A = this chain, B = another copy of it.
Amino acid sequence: MLGTTLNGPLGPSIRAIDICAPKHPPYGQMHQLLGKEQRARLAAIASIVRFEKRAEIYHEGDHADAVFNIISGVVKAYMRGPHKTMRGPHRTEHISAFWFPGDLFGLAQEGSYVSSVEALTPVTAYRIPIAALRSRLSTDAMLEYHFITKLCHELWQAQRHAFLLTSNRTLSKLTMFLQMLEQLQAAKGESTNEIYMPMGRSDVADYIGTSLASTSRAFRSLATRAVLQVRDRRHVKVIDRSAFEELAGVTTV
């Protein structure tokens, strides 16, 4: 985590996969989009904020006055849904994204945040007031282009998430989810020997859209079938790669 910490002083860091094809391998890598100058200029209008684990960073519907750029830690974005059961309302939370260092969040529509965001771990982030950001963007076309790149990346992620949700086998969904985490780690250049899950079981369940019980059973099933080795609740390792890819549906374009 040393590298991440050092990112702080340099200013906001935005990582994403490019829109245009890279000239050379490796492909599928996320890059730091901002240059030294741009980071410094953004740092000038940003402040560093910290949140404890479980802290709510903002709430759906709040007046959106800033965007955030994660320096360290992980957050989840969720929407509360009054998914009532016939017999009485039932708290349901849908997680629309997990965000990591280098991600940007604070999307708004008509001046209000469209989802709530909560820290899953202690979080350090840059807080960039929207007004300042807008004027900064209007004088730096390249910076704006990088924001577009990041948004395209987010949109792609959201589409993959939706795709995952359409599978009607919990096992498939879980496998796809793990594959996404793995690819994310790979894209960030981290080791993919083991997959690390910063979120708990119920957050996984809320992301893949199944019940907690079902998610738990799916983990056990993968372990029993020897597809996965579960070191502890946050670390798993793919043992049977072909079965894993098979379950995830070979969509590994």
Contact = CB atoms under 8 A, between A and B. Distances in A.
A175 to B, nearest CB: 12
Nearest to A97: B159
B21 A111 contact: yes
Nearest to A142: B138
Interface residues of A, number: 60
Interface string A150-174: 0111111011011101111000100
Given A19-B109, A97-B159, A162-B162, 18 more contacts: A18-B110, A19-B111, A20-B110, A81-B166, A81-B251, A94-B162, A96-B159, A96-B162, A107-B156, A108-B152, A114-B159, A137-B144, A139-B141, A147-B148, A151-B151, A158-B159, A165-B166, A166-B209
Interface of A: 17-22, 27-28, 60-61, 79, 81-84, 92, 94, 96-97, 107-112, 114-115, 130, 134, 137-139, 141-142, 144-145, 147-148, 151-156, 158-159, 161-163, 165-168, 172, 209, 246, 249-251, 253
